[in-house]
A and B are shown apart, each in its own frame.
Chain A
Amino acid sequence: MLSHPFIQTALIAGTSIALLAGCAGYFVVMRGQVFAGDALSHVAYTGALAALAVGLDLRFGLFVAAVGFGIVLGLLGGRVNADDVIIGTTLAWVLGVGVFFLALFTTNAANSNSNANVTVLFGSIFGISFAAAATAAGIAAGLVVVLLVIARPLLFASIDPAVAAASGVPVRLVGALFLAVVGAAAAETSQIVGALLVFGLLAAPAAAAGRLTDRPWHGLALSAALALAATWAGIVLAYAAPTFPPSFTIMASAAAEYVIAVVIARRRATGRARPDAVPRRTSGPVSTAQALHARLTAEGHRMGLATVYRALRVYADIGDIDRTRAEDGTVLFRYRPDPGHHHYLRCRSCGYSVPIHSEPFEAWTATIGSRHDFTDLTHTVEVLGTCSSCWMHRGEG
């Protein structure tokens, strides 16, 4: 099998692109930008057809459109995650424009290459030329390096944007750079599996990795490995059973990985140790996630910072932990011993806090609610001060 030049070429292109897609996809899934990634791959399709319609190399259109759109999405910032309607509407229109270019391209009598559309949509890893494969491998290697360089700040900015920004990480720039890389990855990947299927190679291995491990670096490596395995398996299967197009076998392998990962995760979930140590350690003074992580590590718990964040978020969502913000915007957590509603008087320098009786305040809120015909009131009250101990030791630090 390996003696066929087209298999060798496919393996060169497939290996490099799979590694890129696995790495980029892991961050896409973690950042919750799957729909944006989907939109990028559709933009790549329109770009490729636009390039064909005006007589340029289709790869030129792929890259310009996908990278450009990635940067625009990234600069729009957090709004992209929030509003799937905007992405959806734009995505539908972009595809419509792609159809327009397709009509332009196919009605132009000079074009004998009528399969180009199918190639752009569904790819053909066995049809790639050696030169194209070498270029693809080079670009993929470069992009993986870029991803690894920005990986740490990107991870930080993904998990806790406020703290990352406070620590001097250019969150928005990192986000834009990342989506530009995803755009380029989509353009690369669409050469082997096609614009419509890119997205599977980005999402499926990453989602499978996310099911299997909570630790970011393991997840990243696992995601790349799974993407690679899916691509190799796909190539071998397509070679063994020539009726099946390679794009299908690659996608089917990736989807199978995801299903297996879901099953494994479900079987393991029953016996897995949960980060129960997290909420109990938040009793006492309020704590930042980093401080809590440091404390847990010192006590011998083996647990990553991301796990601490995840556990804190889960417990805050179900109401076991109160979440407040310090004056500089850092998120603070505090264990809530019983499910009731509490307010705290908190020291702004050491974080020591005491629950306070707030009945007069609650009564007042209820009164103004009923006076203005409002029901289902909620409120946020932060009372800050300096505790006696800090006041005594002021000026020492």
Chain B
Amino acid sequence: MTWNLVADVQQMLSYHFMLNALRAGTIVAVVAGAIGYVMVLRGQSFAGHTLATIGFPGAAGATWLGIGVAVGYFGFCIAGALVIALLPGARRPGSGLGGSGEESAGIGTVQALALASGFLFVSLYKGFLSGLNNLLFGTITGVSDAQVLILLVAGVGCLVVLVALGRPLLFATIDPDVARARGIPVRLLDVAFLVLLGIVTAGCSQVTGSLLVFALLVAPAAAAARLSARPAAAVVLSVGLALLVTWAGETIAFFSPYPIGFWVTTLAFAVYLLAIAHRARLERPGRQTS
């Protein structure tokens, strides 16, 4: 590293793997930023976290069986989303899946079982211990051209569906009872959103690792929600912050000996803290405008 910014960036971009990592990171950040905002609004952070961890047994299982890792990620995450949607308690009106008590205990059970199955697949497929860490915590060297293409297709698909569902979904999120009375299929939207979340987490997992997807899903969205109350502005902001965090994290990870997961989560957390601090400053007594 030379501290010559242009030369450094040129050096970084001369590696094909780095280019792929940035492409994948960009796709993932845009989709995660957008859908993460809806997730935070719906109070489904815990379900998101669980879906993210479900990617791990998917990838481990696919490696064990010798099929494509992407198939494992997407297959398991979508199946996981359907299982969570079917859990008892999940259909109680007005209660997000992150709600208290039993429904989250059910989600937690799914999560622990998923991780345990992942561990089982890892031990059945003897000898990829370093692969285990990459699956869980991500790596910037692991993204292939084919994966970037799959991510692009899945990402664009998710965004299209999200935009199509956008208005009714927002309505069903904010006031499920009224939405139901207006004839919006709230239950169906719940399931559709969880499946969408599953696809997105499956995509993210391939860049940040299963355990750290969550940082991209929740932190930029939570920060954006603190900075703007208008949904459209907040979604744009959330996407922007996610992009910033991903690009910066990948760049720093390239030049430092520490893994990408650490940098992405730390930057995301810092963005969130800054948003809280900014909000607190705005809300300080004496500065209200009314």
Q: Contact: B111 with A199, CB < 8 Å? A: yes
B40 CB-CB contact with A under 8 Å: yes
Complex interface: chain A residues within 8 A of B263 (CB): 96
| Closest CB in chain B relative to A35 CB, distance in Å | 5
Q: Please measure, in the bound complex, the distance between the C-alpha atom of A115 and the C-alpha atom of B132, giving whole angstroms.
A: 11
Q: Give the contacts of B26-66 with A (CB-CB under 8 A).
A: 40, 43, 45-46, 48-49, 53
Q: Contact: A84 with B43, CB < 8 Å? A: yes
Q: Contact: B88 with A96, CB < 8 Å? A: no
Q: Contact: A85 with B259, CB < 8 Å? A: no
Q: Contact: B136 with A121, CB < 8 Å? A: yes
The listed residue (A81, A103, A207) touching B106 by CB distance below 8 A is A207
- Known contacts A29-B102, A245-B123: A100-B113 contact under CB 8 Å: no
Q: Please measure, in the bound complex, the distance between the C-alpha atom of A207 and the C-alpha atom of B90, giving whole angstroms.
A: 14
B268 CB-CB contact with A under 8 Å: yes
B233 CB-CB contact with A under 8 Å: no
Measured CB to CB, the nearest residue on chain A to B112 is A200
The listed residue (B88, B110, B120, B259) touching A245 by CB distance below 8 A is B120
Complex interface: chain A residues within 8 A of B112 (CB): 196-197, 199-201, 203-204, 251, 254-255
The listed residue (A91, A99, A202, A251) touching B214 by CB distance below 8 A is A91
A252 CB-CB contact with B under 8 Å: yes
Complex interface: chain A residues within 8 A of B45 (CB): 35, 84-85, 87-88
- Known contacts A38-B49, A92-B215, A99-B262: A200-B269 contact under CB 8 Å: no
Q: Contact: A252 with B113, CB < 8 Å? A: yes
Complex interface: chain A residues within 8 A of B110 (CB): 255
A307 CB-CB contact with B under 8 Å: no
| Closest CB in chain A relative to B55 CB, distance in Å | 13
Measured CB to CB, the nearest residue on chain A to B50 is A38
Complex interface: chain A residues within 8 A of B43 (CB): 84
Q: Contact: B259 with A103, CB < 8 Å? A: yes
A210 CB-CB contact with B under 8 Å: yes
Complex interface: chain A residues within 8 A of B218 (CB): 85, 88-89, 92
Q: Please measure, in the bound complex, the distance between the C-alpha atom of A37 and the C-alpha atom of B43, giving whole angstroms.
A: 17
B212 CB-CB contact with A under 8 Å: yes
| Closest CB in chain A relative to B62 CB, distance in Å | 17
- Interface residue total, chain A, C-beta cutoff 8 A: 62
A211 CB-CB contact with B under 8 Å: yes
Q: Contact: A251 with B116, CB < 8 Å? A: yes
B115 CB-CB contact with A under 8 Å: yes
B137 CB-CB contact with A under 8 Å: yes
A248 CB-CB contact with B under 8 Å: yes
Q: Contact: B219 with A89, CB < 8 Å? A: yes
- Type the 1/0 row for A248-284, where 1 means its CB is closer than 8 Å to any CB of B: 1011101100100010011000000000000000000
A247 CB-CB contact with B under 8 Å: yes
Complex interface: chain A residues within 8 A of B117 (CB): 248, 252
Complex interface: chain A residues within 8 A of B262 (CB): 96-97, 99-100, 103
The listed residue (A114, A204, A251) touching B129 by CB distance below 8 A is A114
Measured CB to CB, the nearest residue on chain A to B107 is A34
Complex interface: chain B residues within 8 A of A250 (CB): 116
- Known contacts A30-B101, A35-B104, A204-B112: A93-B259 contact under CB 8 Å: no
Q: Give the contacts of B49-96 with A (CB-CB under 8 A).
A: 49, 53, 88
B144 CB-CB contact with A under 8 Å: no
Q: Contact: A96 with B100, CB < 8 Å? A: no
Complex interface: chain A residues within 8 A of B119 (CB): 121-122, 194, 197, 245, 247-248
The listed residue (A37, A107, A115, A254) touching B109 by CB distance below 8 A is A254
Q: Please measure, in the bound complex, the distance between the C-alpha atom of A362 and the C-alpha atom of B125, giving whole angstroms.
A: 70
Measured CB to CB, the nearest residue on chain A to B216 is A92
Complex interface: chain A residues within 8 A of B107 (CB): 34
Q: Contact: A32 with B257, CB < 8 Å? A: no
Complex interface: chain B residues within 8 A of A247 (CB): 116, 119
Instruction: Give residues in B with beta carbon < 8 Å to A.
Output: 40, 43, 45-46, 48-49, 53, 88, 98-102, 104-113, 115-117, 119-120, 123-124, 129, 132-133, 136-137, 211-212, 214-215, 218-219, 222, 225, 257-259, 261-266, 268-269, 272
Q: List 5 A-B contacts (CB under 8 A).
A: A91-B49, A96-B265, A103-B257, A207-B102, A245-B120
Instruction: Give residues in A with beta carbon < 8 Å to B.
Output: 29-35, 37-38, 81, 84-93, 95-97, 99-100, 102-103, 107, 114-115, 117-118, 121-122, 193-194, 196-197, 199-204, 206-207, 210-211, 243-245, 247-248, 250-252, 254-255, 258, 262, 265-266
Please give me the 10 A-B residue pairs with the lowest Cβ-Cβ distance, nearest first. A200-B112, A32-B100, A96-B265, A207-B105, A251-B116, A93-B269, A203-B108, A92-B215, A88-B45, A100-B262
